[in-house]
Amino acid sequence: MGWLPWSSSTPETPKSSDGGRIAPDRSSRERCYEGRDLFFSCLDKNDILDSVKNDKEARRKCGKEIAEFESVCSRAWVKYFKEKRVMEYNRDKTIEKLKKEDQEQVAQMKARGWSPR
Amino acid sequence: MASTRFISRTLGRVPKAPINRSLTTSATQHIPLLRASQSTSQTQTFNGISNRTFTTTPLLRKGNTMGKIKTQNFTGISWNATLLFILTAAGLMVYFRVEKERLQRKQIREMSKGVGKPKVGGPFVLRDLDGKEVTEEDLKGRYSFVYFGFTHCPDICPDELDKMAAIIDRVKEETKSDKVFQPVFITCDPARDTPEVLRAYLKEFHPAIMGLTGTYEQVKHVCKQYRVYFSTPKDIKPGEDYLVDHSIYFYLMDPDGDFVECIGRQDTPESATKVIMDHINDWKREGKPLKNY
């Protein structure tokens, strides 16, 4: 889909008349988010977390979705969202782990006769 | 008594929680306690009276001696007194809390004033979207709300700018003016974000946002003044796509150009508006000048 100016087929973002680079507007941002969500739900279905590291597998199993994703988002955004997915997963895991540890500690302390205020 | 213990505890606490929470806790803490003692006495007194199975309202005990009547009347007075006491205590608590919050805001404000240079903010030279030079002096006289970002930002800046738009409308509604509060967007990516690009971008969020850009050196300088971290990747080929890392805070600056408070990702439009309005109202209450033109 080469009709989007910042799609992968044309790596340069369009220039404004005063020499700037035109940024995606609200509707193209929305399109990009939709493409991202479709691709990520396909990754979820196929149990792939890191589509940078497992690029080949992701492309094999979600070929259509990744092609769409890469055509509606700029290359920098694609990379950013792929990395963010892994980062958020790890963050949530860590929070979960800490919460669990916290609960266990509370349970232990309660067993020793401590009561929460 | 339970009530005194409760009051000393809440007064000692840092009053971050909303005011009405203290009132509801006071009510729920008292009533069940008193009800509990009442109902136990009832069951004791009327134990064995079988014709009152379907009601829980207490029977009016008829005082047949002066002593009993006196006790009855006395309990009545003590109920009123308790109620009065609770209301007075609650009233005082609300007052102290409001006052303490005001003083805390004042303290936050004064931290960046007085001795030496302000910690956040300061002189800068940038250009607005018409190419006109804008300095820190131009922002003085009203509250300004400064955000640093770049137009090619994938998801965080657009979210935050939508939030900014909501805040602008709320503050405008509450101050009944669109002059006392000036939202500002400073780009961290001047190479791509020229006035034309910024104008088209910001228009989609809110027309009131002032867009500022400048040379790379000017932008680097203003970011340093506001203690904003930002990094543009090195060795970018012309036209190549890239992202800029930057810190994501709104900076509330007072009409003297001094930093007041940060609004972050965790704030909602509601909570941010409250913070801003509290400061604006304090400023007005102290009778300090505020531009309204």
Tens-digit pLDDT profile for residues B173-223: 999 988 899 999 999 999 899 999 999 999 999 999 999 999 999 999 999
Residue B140: per-residue pLDDT: 93
Among A102-116, B73-87, B117-131, B173-187, the minimum mean pLDDT is found in: B73-87
Question: Mean pLDDT, to the nearest integer, of B124-128?
Answer: 94
Q: Would you state the structure tokens that stand for residue B278, as one six-digit string?
A: 């509290």
State yes or no: pLDDT of B46 exceeds 50.
Answer: no
Question: Mean pLDDT, to the nearest integer, of B145-168?
Answer: 94
| DSSP output for B167-198 | HHHHHHHHHT-SSSEEEEEEES-TTT--HHHH
End-to-end Cα distance, chain B: 57
State yes or no: pLDDT of A26 exceeds 60.
Answer: yes
Residue B164: per-residue pLDDT: 96
Q: For residue A46, give the nearest of A35, A36, A59, A33 by alpha carbon.
A: A59
Residue B12: per-residue pLDDT: 41
Residue A67: per-residue pLDDT: 95
Residue B31: per-residue pLDDT: 44
Query: Same domain, yes or no, for B218 and B104?
Result: no
Strand B133-135 to B245-246 pairing: unpaired
Residue B78: per-residue pLDDT: 80
Residues near B254 by Cβ (< 8 Å), separated by ≥ 6?
A: B109, B143, B260, B279, B283
Residue A97: per-residue pLDDT: 95
From chain B, the residues in CB contact with A12 under 8 A are 239-240
List the single residue in A17, A24, A29 with the smallest CB-CB distance to B196. Answer: A17
Its domain, for residue B75, covers 2-36+65-111
Contact A76 B192 (CB under 8 A): no
Query: Same domain, yes or no, for B271 and B225?
Result: yes
Query: Same domain, yes or no, for B188 and B136?
Result: yes
Residue with tokens 């796509």: B241
Q: Would you state the structure tokens that stand for residue B252, as one six-digit string?
A: 């509330």
Compute the distance between CA of residue B225 and CA of residue B211 in angstroms, rounded to an integer: 18
Instruction: Write down the domain spans for chain A.
Output: 26-111
Compute the distance between CA of residue B172 and CA of residue B66 in angstroms, rounded to an integer: 66
Residue A10: per-residue pLDDT: 43
- A 95-114 residues inside an 8 A Cβ radius of B: none
**Cβ(B245)–Cβ(B230) below 8 Å:** yes
Percent of chain B residues topping a pLDDT of 90: 45
Residue A43: per-residue pLDDT: 95
Residue B146: per-residue pLDDT: 95
Band (pLDDT 50/70/90 cuts) for residue B116 is low
Query: Per residue in B210-256, pLDDT tens?
Result: 999 999 999 999 998 888 888 877 667 766 788 887 778 899 999 99
Query: Per residue in B67-94, pLDDT tens?
Result: 665 555 555 568 888 889 999 999 999 9
Query: Same domain, yes or no, for B169 and B237?
Result: yes
Query: Same domain, yes or no, for B24 and B81?
Result: yes
State yes or no: pLDDT of A83 exceeds 60.
Answer: yes
The total number of structural domains that make up chain B: 2
Tell me the residue length of chain B.
Answer: 293
* B152 marked as binding residue: no
Contact A23 B154 (CB under 8 A): no
Contact B204 A77 (CB under 8 A): no
Residue A86: per-residue pLDDT: 96
- Tell me which of B245 and B162 has the higher pLDDT: B162
Query: Per residue in B282-291, pLDDT tens?
Result: 999 988 888 8
Query: Same domain, yes or no, for B171 and B135?
Result: yes
Query: Same domain, yes or no, for B134 and B159?
Result: yes
Dihedral sign of CA atoms B62, B67, B73, B74 in order: negative
Question: Mean pLDDT, to the nearest integer, of B86-104?
Answer: 90
Dihedral sign of CA atoms B80, B83, B87, B93 in order: positive
End-to-end Cα distance, chain A: 61
Residue B1: per-residue pLDDT: 42
Contact B158 A11 (CB under 8 A): no
Residues near B253 by Cβ (< 8 Å), separated by ≥ 6?
A: B121, B139, B143, B144, B145, B146, B259, B260
What chain B residue is nearest to A73 in terms of C-alpha separation? Answer: B154
What chain A residue is nearest to B244 in terms of C-alpha separation? Answer: A76
Residue B9: per-residue pLDDT: 42
Helix (H, G, I), strand (E, B) or coil at B293: coil
List the single residue in B191, B197, B240 with the smallest CB-CB distance to A23. Answer: B197
Tell me the CA distances in angstroms from B15 to B20, B263, B280, B291, one per residue in order. 11, 19, 20, 32
Query: Same domain, yes or no, for B216 and B186?
Result: yes
From chain A, the residues in CB contact with B194 under 8 A are 16, 18-20
Residue B48 lies inside a defined structural domain of this protein: no
DSSP class of residue A72? H
Task: Report the side by side order of strands in the sheet with B181-187.
Answer: B210-212, B181-187, B143-149, B250-253, B259-263
Contact A13 B243 (CB under 8 A): no
Tell me the CA distances in angstroms from B23 to B12, B30, B87, B278, one per residue in order. 16, 11, 9, 22
Out of B54, B77, B111, pick the residue that ends a domain: B111
List the single residue in B152, B155, B242 with the smallest CB-CB distance to A23. Answer: B152
Query: Per residue in B14-30, pLDDT tens?
Result: 444 444 444 444 444 44
Q: Which amino acid is at B222?
A: V
Contact B194 A24 (CB under 8 A): no
Q: For residue B108, give the nearest of B98, B116, B100 by alpha carbon.
A: B100
* B246 marked as binding residue: yes
Mean pLDDT of chain B, nearest integer: 78
Query: Same domain, yes or no, for B140 and B273?
Result: yes
Question: Mean pLDDT, to the nearest integer, of B31-59?
Answer: 49
State yes or no: pLDDT of A24 exceeds 50.
Answer: yes
* B262 marked as binding residue: no
Residue B19: per-residue pLDDT: 41
B206/chain A closest Cα distance in angstroms:
13
Residue B8: per-residue pLDDT: 42
Q: For residue B128, give the nearest of B200, B192, B184, B203 by alpha carbon.
A: B184
Residue B78 lies inside a defined structural domain of this protein: yes
Query: Same domain, yes or no, for B142 and B264?
Result: yes
ipTM (interface predicted TM): 0.78
Question: Mean pLDDT, to the nearest integer, of B119-132?
Answer: 90
Residue B245: per-residue pLDDT: 78
Compute the distance between CA of residue A43 and CA of residue B194 in angstroms, rounded to an integer: 38
State yes or no: pLDDT of B109 exceeds 50.
Answer: yes
- Tell me which of B143 and B80 has the higher pLDDT: B143
Residue B52: per-residue pLDDT: 56
Query: Same domain, yes or no, for B164 and B235?
Result: yes
Indicate which CATH number applies to the domain containing B258. 3.40.30.10
List the single residue in A12, A23, A77 with the smallest CB-CB distance to B239. Answer: A12
Q: Where are the alpha helices (DSSP H) in chain B?
A: 2-12, 19-45, 66-111, 136-139, 156-175, 195-203, 216-225, 269-285
State yes or no: pLDDT of A9 exceeds 50.
Answer: no
Residue A61: per-residue pLDDT: 93
pTM over 0.80: no
